[in-house]
Structure 1
C-alpha cells in the first residue's frame, strides 16, 4: 500500500469528520443507490460466488492428463487445459480463492493494525504519540515493493512469507490516517457538544470518533486492495509466492508464458478473474469515497 496511491481517496474520506457521527445504515443505502457502487458490488458478488461454489462442482484442479494437454476450449474444458492437461476453469476458480483470500487477509490485517495503533497514538497523545508517529514516518519512507522483495528474498518464497512481506509496512499509512482523524475529531461540533454535556471520554471515543475513523480507513483499504491483488500476482508471477502445483492467478499467468503463442486462451481464466476483481473493487472504492464525502460533487 503506497501513500501516493491512497492519498486522494483517503483525503476525501478524511473530510467525513465535518459531518459528525457516521450513520451506517444511511451509508449502506447510499452505497447501493450509487450506480458505480452497485455495479462494483455485483461484480464482486459474481466473483465471490464463482470461486465459492465453482470448485465444488468441478473436478480436482491438480488432476493431470498429459494426453489432453493444451486442449482448446470445449464443453468438457470451457477454458481449455494447460501443459499438464489440467482443467483451466477449475484451476482459475480455485486460484481465485487463494489470490483474493490472501489479498483480503493482508487488507484485514493492515486495517486492524493501522486502526489500533492509530487510535492509540491519537487518543493517548504525549510521548506515546511521538514514538508511534516516528515509527509511522520511518515505515512510510520505505518503498513497499522493495521491502516486500527483501522480506521474501530473506525468508524464501512461499505464501506465508508473501503475506508477511505485504503486511509488514502496509499498515503504516493507515495508522497515520487514523491518528490524524482522531486528532481532527477533537474539534468536531458533535464531539465538543458531547464533552460539554459531561459524556465520559471512552463513550465519546467509541460513539463519535471510532466510527468515522473506521469509515476513513475502509475507503483507503478498498482503494489499496487492488494494489495488494496486483502485488500478490506480480510476486507470484516472479516465483516468490505460490509454488507448483498450487493454483494462484499470478502463478498461472507465469506458467502460460511458454505456450502463449500456441494456446493464448490459457490467459483468459486468471486474466479475466483479475480484471473483474480489480474493476469491482475500484468501482466500490470510488462509490464509498463519494458516499463518505457527500459534498464532493457539489464542490466540483
Structure 2
C-alpha cells in the first residue's frame, strides 16, 4: 500500500508539473531563448551595479586629483582617470544609475501618455481620433533627436528636461501602437455584448481592452528603454542633457572626445557601457516579442 501511495504521489506531482498556463508557457519559451536570457542577464548586472554603486565605487566620482589626470588603467584606477584626474570606474558605475533612471522613467512617461491618448483615439474615434492622430503625425514628422534638442533648447539644458524631451518624442510610438490595437478590439463580439448589457465605457476599457494592449506595450517598452538611453547619451554628448559634474555616459564621451588618441580608455569604458546596456535591452525585447506574440508562437 505504501508503494501504491508513493506512486500516486509521484503521478500527481508529474501532472502538476505538466500543468500549463499562458505565463508558465511564456516563461518556458523565454528560457529557451538564449539571446533573450543573455540580454536579461546583462540588464540585471547593470541594474545591480547601479544600485550598489556607492558601496563598490573605489572613489568619489566628483573627486579631482590633477596629478593623476589621464592615468592609464592599472591597479590604482582600474578604468584609468579622465582629464581632471577623476576615477573612471567610479564615474561609470554612477553613470549606470543616471542612464538607467532616464531610460526607465522616460519610457514609463511615454507609455502612460501614449496609452491614454491611444485608447481615447481608438475607442471614441471621430474628431478625437482625428485630433490626436494629427498630433502624433506632427511629432513623427521630425527626427526624434532633433525634436528632443528643440524641446531641451526651450526648457533649458538639464538632465530632467532631457528626460521630459525623450518622453515627449516617444509618445506617438506607443500612442499609435495602442490605437491600432484598440481599433481591432472594440468591434469584437464580447465588447458589443458588454455595451448591450449596459457596462460603462470605463469598465470596458479597464477590464476588456487595456489588458489586451499590454503585450505590445511590454515589448515596445523594453526596446524603447535602449532607445531612450541612446537619446539621453546623445543629448548629454551635445551638452544639452546632464551637466557637470554628473557622470552621465554621454557627457563623459563628450568631455573625453579630444583625448581619444592620447587616452582612449576615457571614451572606451562609457562607450562600451552604452553599447552593452542597449544591446541587452534589444536582445530582451526581441526575445519577449518572440514569446508574447501569438503569431510567432504558431510558426
Q: Given the two structures, how large is their TM-score scaled by the length of structure 2?
A: 0.84
Deviations 1:206-252 (A, max 9, x none): 33321221221221222222222111111211111112111110011
Q: Conserved in 1, the CA contact under 8 Å of 2:256 and 2:266? A: yes
Question: Aligned residue for 1:40?
Answer: 39
Shift of 1:40: 1.1
Q: Paired residues, what number?
A: 277
Structure 2 matches for 1:49-60, cutoff 5 A?
Answer: 49-58=48-57, 59-60=59-60
Unaligned runs of 5+ in 1: 1-21
More deviation in 79-88 or 181-190?
A: 181-190
- The alpha-carbon distance between structure 1 residues 285 and 199, as it changes in their structure 2 partners (threshold 3 A), is farther
Shift of 1:24: 4.6
- The alpha-carbon distance between structure 1 residues 110 and 189, as it changes in their structure 2 partners (threshold 3 A), is same
Question: Aligned residue for 1:169?
Answer: 169
Say which SS state the counterpart of residue 78 (structure 1) adopts.
coil
Where relative contact order (Cα < 8 A, 6+ residues apart) is larger, the structure is 1
Aligned equivalents of 1:38, 1:181: Cα separation in 2: 28
More deviation in 142-151 or 231-240?
A: 142-151
Question: Aligned residue for 1:82?
Answer: 82
Aligned equivalents of 1:157, 1:57: Cα separation in 2: 30
- The alpha-carbon distance between structure 1 residues 41 and 61, as it changes in their structure 2 partners (threshold 3 A), is same
Deviations 1:154-175 (A, max 9, x none): 3332112212222223202211
Question: Aligned residue for 1:154?
Answer: 154
Aligned equivalents of 1:250, 1:80: Cα separation in 2: 18
Q: Conserved in 1, the CA contact under 8 Å of 2:152 and 2:162? A: yes
Question: Aligned residue for 2:117?
Answer: 117
Question: Aligned residue for 1:97?
Answer: 97
Aligned equivalents of 1:105, 1:278: Cα separation in 2: 16
Aligned equivalents of 1:228, 1:128: Cα separation in 2: 28
- Which segments of structure 1 move beyond 6 Å, counting only runs of 4 or more? none
More deviation in 107-116 or 52-61?
A: 52-61
Q: Given the two structures, how large is their TM-score scaled by the length of structure 1?
A: 0.83
- The alpha-carbon distance between structure 1 residues 196 and 232, as it changes in their structure 2 partners (threshold 3 A), is closer
Unaligned runs of 5+ in 2: 1-20
Q: Conserved in 2, the CA contact under 8 Å of 1:225 and 1:281? A: yes
Aligned equivalents of 2:197, 2:231: Cα separation in 1: 48
Aligned equivalents of 1:86, 1:100: Cα separation in 2: 22
Larger CA Rg, structure 1 vs 2 = 2
Shift of 1:132: 2.0
Question: Aligned residue for 1:242?
Answer: 242
- State whether structure 2 residue 268 is matched by structure 1 residue 288: no
Q: Conserved in 2, the CA contact under 8 Å of 1:79 and 1:268? A: no
Structure 2 matches for 1:1-300, cutoff 5 A?
Answer: 23-24=22-23, 26-58=25-57, 59-188=59-188, 191=191, 195=194, 198=197, 200=199, 202-296=202-296, 299=299
Say which SS state the counterpart of residue 266 (structure 1) adopts.
helix
Q: Conserved in 2, the CA contact under 8 Å of 1:102 and 1:163? A: yes
- The alpha-carbon distance between structure 1 residues 88 and 156, as it changes in their structure 2 partners (threshold 3 A), is same
Calculate the aligned-residue CA RMSD, in Å.
Answer: 2.4
